Amino acid sequence: MKKGIFITFEGTEGSGKSTQIKRAASFLRKKGRRVLILREPGGTGVGEAIRNVLLDNKHAAMAPSAELLLYLAARAQIVNEKILPALKAGTIVICDRFEDSTLAYQGYGRGFSMKDIEAVSQKLVRGTLKPRLTILLDVDPALGLKRGGRHDRMEKQSLVFHRKVRRGFLALAKREPRRYLVINTRQDWELTAKQIRERLGRVA
């Protein structure tokens, strides 16, 4: 039985993750692999309930610490309920966001300690689980928000906040260049898909 592979897609709002995830999954399935697509927060009953709270505009006054803990709680559920069992069964798991989003949004964006986030995550949320490959779809936040609109609570954060998040993602990618594939999505989307397929071919 082939080993499971954990792949994550990251990026700021409007970076095109959903489209490229579908294309990546199709490519891998044509190679004969089983693929499970998940999203964060969400992917489980518990996670989707938490997602509704996190993104609801009615909760604009949510404390940053509550926001951080809710993201971690949703992740703890999806790791144990979905990701680990699928990997054990030899499935390729593609997740739309994972821990790097928390480091970028709540670490770089909100100012929480990166070391604290990583320590709590490793101890209580993901254990030793790390993505084999992380594809960062990079886009200027002003353009990304224009593409996707500003509908939910996180999308409606200030442009200054979203620019901090982008800098966070790029810093994380620089810290782990072997795990990350960074693609500027201002280029043609077909070229982006081609670059992703080439990298997937080397890991799957």
**What confidence score (pLDDT) does residue 148 get?**
81
Q: What domain count does the chain have?
A: 1
Cα–Cα nearest to 42, from 105, 85, 97? 97
Domain of 103, in residue numbers: 5-203
3-class secondary-structure state, position 134: strand
CATH code: domain of residue 117:
3.40.50.300
Tens digits of residue pLDDT in 7-24: 999 999 999 999 999 999
Contact between 138 and 168 (Cβ < 8 Å): no
Q: Is the pTM of this model over 0.75?
A: yes
44/42 Cα distance (integer angstroms)? 6
User: Quick one: which of 95, 93, 117, 81 has its CA closest to 18?
Assistant: 95
Q: What is the pLDDT of residues 58-82, one digit of tens each?
A: 999 999 999 999 999 999 999 999 9
Please tell me the number of Cα atoms within 13 Å of 57 on its side-chain side.
Answer: 6
Per residue in 153-178, pLDDT (tens digit) is 999 999 999 999 999 999 999 999 99
Residue 1, pLDDT above cutoff 80: no
Q: In whole angstroms, give the CA distance from residue 104 to residue 58.
A: 23
Q: Provide the mean pLDDT of the chain.
A: 97
**Start-end of H helices in 31-93:** 45-55, 64-78, 84-88
At residue 39 the predicted structure's pLDDT band, cuts being 50, 70 and 90, is very high
